[in-house]
Structure 1
Amino acid sequence: MGWADWGVLMTAALAAGWVDAVVGGGGLILLPVILLTMPQMTPQEALATNKLTAVNGTAAAVVTFSRKVRLEWRLMAPAAVLAAVCSAAGAAVVSLIDKDLFVPIIMVLLVAVAAFVTLRPTIGTTLATHRPSRLKVVTTVLVAGGALGFYDGLFGPGTGTFLIITFAVMLGTEFVRSAAMAKVINLGSNIGALAFFAATGNVWWALGLAMAVCNVAGSVVGARMALAKGAGFIRVVLLVVVVVMVIRLGWQQFG
């Protein structure tokens, strides 16, 4: 692998970290670049190596968000652990599932997310007028952690985006807080999938750790920009990323 390939991979890791910290979806940037630049890697190895990179970037985003956003760790920590377990389970059955069956469904969901955010401009930009009940908060966070953790290990694209929208819609949280909560659960799901891939020997450690350096830098910058610019900025980036994800998945499926 030449210097040009390294440059492409590091740049993609930086961009993926920034996008992932703000609204999720960084894997859709980095994974295709890994597969294109490293054709000798299997899809499993590319996914596993991307998870190693993402774990570091997501951890950096969690630290950055947690310094400014008050998180309820007594709830978020168990949800992250649940996401890790479910993500490992998803990774374990990934070879048994025809992922092509998922792509049209995910595309429809993403289009629905884009339409919903466009038609409801107040979602995620203002706090709910009534605080949700404790039962609703706990149920939403744990169910989202388990279900989307499993999805992250099984398939992955848009996990962070779906988490942000879930918290904004169900709990009435602003996008900044939703993004912070999503990063905690996403860190758990990344760790769970990585643990499984590491146990099965699919991780390219040197490459993954090298990309992680740039991914962490991108994540820190992205998280700081999200905190500084607020919910309106996250809303715009979310819409752009969702549209790009739909186009990317459509090209992958039908192109």
Structure 2
Amino acid sequence: MLTFIFLCLASFAAGFIDAIVGGGGLIQTPAILIILPDYQVATLLGTTKIPSFAGTSIAAWQYSRRVQLNYKLLFSIATVAFLAALGGSRMASSLSNHILKPVILLLLIGVAIYTYANKKFGQQEHNDKIPAHRLWYGALLGLIIGFYDGFIGPGTGSFLILVFIAILGQDFLHASAHAKIVNLATNLASILYFSSTGHILYQYALPMAACNITGSFIGTRLALLKGNRFIRIFFLLVVIGTIIRFACDLY
């Protein structure tokens, strides 16, 4: 019973944070690795994809009702990210992530400094007219982030938001909305792979999904209510937390 309670609390917090700025996996993934240490890492990663997909679905639905989406942009990036996530999931049980973590740590430190120093970052008005070369950059980064989500996962939502802001010129609210759709695609790809290889513990995944949905619903409503400035502050907090989390893993 305590195992279920702790996993559900972690999933609720993950859904809440992920709905606003992404990065919910930084809570959910370490929690399940600690609470269920006797299972294979691939099985635990596969199990977290069910609640992540459920919570992200609710967030994406709520954002789509209030925020105008660029479906052409979403289709291209989500398709690439989906295929990349399949490849990442396939490699999750066989390759180490020790090489990637130092790179991610340095990247996140840079993101935190840039976001804090540039007060207008993610505050500009949304613009649907995106230059063709930026679409290619977005697709390339979607490929990299999609593979990362299938392979490791935590922090994917935050990375996607960064792409939609820094590369594609969106504000935080629109970037959060678009990132949710792409994250749905990567989660779905991982679920398809992990379920086909027997790497999902449904007895834990389903109750975690219910709690993730609840947290996601509350987080999305709060983000839509408070707007860009609130999301920017929350984004900074999550990035700083991510930096601390990766630094602890490394050192």
Q: Normalising by the residue count of structure 1, what TM-score does the alignment of the two structures yield?
A: 0.93
- Give the match for residue 51 of structure 2: 53
- Give the match for residue 27 of structure 2: 29
- 1:251 maps to a residue whose letter is C
1:135 offset after TM fit, Å? Answer: 1.2
- Give the match for residue 39 of structure 1: 37
Answer whether contact 2:42 2:93 (CA < 8 A) is retained: no
- Give the match for residue 217 of structure 1: 214
Task: Choose which of 119, 139, 148 in structure 1 pairs with 2:136.
Answer: 139
1:132 offset after TM fit, Å? Answer: 4.9
Q: Equivalents in 1 of 2:133, 2:181: separation in Å?
A: 19
For the aligned residue pairs, the C-alpha RMSD in angstroms reads 1.7
The answer as to 2:162 corresponding to 1:165 is yes
3-state secondary structure, aligned to 2:107 = helix
Q: Normalising by the residue count of structure 2, what TM-score does the alignment of the two structures yield?
A: 0.94
**Moved segments of 4+, more than 4 Å:** none
1:204 offset after TM fit, Å? Answer: 0.5
List gaps (5 residues or longer) in structure 2.
none
List gaps (5 residues or longer) in structure 1.
none
Q: Equivalents in 2 of 1:244, 1:100: separation in Å?
A: 19
How many residue pairs match? The answer is 251
1:226 offset after TM fit, Å? Answer: 0.9
> How do residues 88-107 of structure 1 correspond to structure 2 at under 5 angstroms?
88-107=86-105
Q: Equivalents in 2 of 1:78, 1:205: separation in Å?
A: 31
Answer whether contact 1:164 1:178 (CA < 8 A) is retained: yes
- 1:227 maps to a residue whose letter is L
> How do residues 1-255 of structure 1 correspond to structure 2 at under 5 angstroms?
3-127=1-125, 132-254=129-251
- 1:126 maps to a residue whose letter is Q
3-state secondary structure, aligned to 2:199 = coil
Q: Equivalents in 2 of 1:150, 1:214: separation in Å?
A: 26
